[in-house]
Amino acid sequence: MDAYGLLVLLVIGALAGWLAGNIMRGGGFGVLGNIAMGLLGSIVGGFIFNWLGVSPGGGWIGLLIAGLVGAVILLFVISLIKRA
């Protein structure tokens, strides 16, 4: 992966994490936390979309959708674990 691809991945991860933070809790987790949540969310979202046989689309919009869905699911699971 070249530097441009890595930069795009980090920006999309940060945006997906920030959006998920706003959806689930009303706020983000800081820049590094948003990037981490978005990147992990992209992995989870990609796995879930692949398992369901659904494609979120191509390009950066598809990556953002997969990252957002995955990050929201991660935040939901984390909130369930914190309650227990």
- For residue range 6-44, list pLDDT tens digits in order: 888 888 888 888 888 888 875 667 777 777 888 888 888
The count of structural domains within the chain is 1
pTM: 0.82
- When pLDDT is averaged across residues 43-52 and rounded to a whole number, the result is 88
Whether residue 72 is predicted with pLDDT greater than 80 in this model: the reply is yes
DSSP per residue, the chain: --HHHHHHHHHHHHHHHHHHHHHHTSS--HHHHHHHHHHHHHHHHHHHHHHHT----SHHHHHHHHHHHHHHHHHHHHHHHHH-
- Residue at 1 is within a domain: no
What pLDDT does 31 receive? 74
- Residue at 25 is within a domain: yes
Taking all residues of the chain, what is their mean pLDDT, rounded to a whole number?
Answer: 83
Cα-based distances in Å from 6 to 13, 18, 35, 59, 60: 10, 18, 12, 14, 13
- Residue at 45 is within a domain: yes
For residues 84 and 52, the model is more confident at 52
- Residue at 5 is within a domain: no
- Residue at 37 is within a domain: yes
Domain that holds residue 58: 10-83
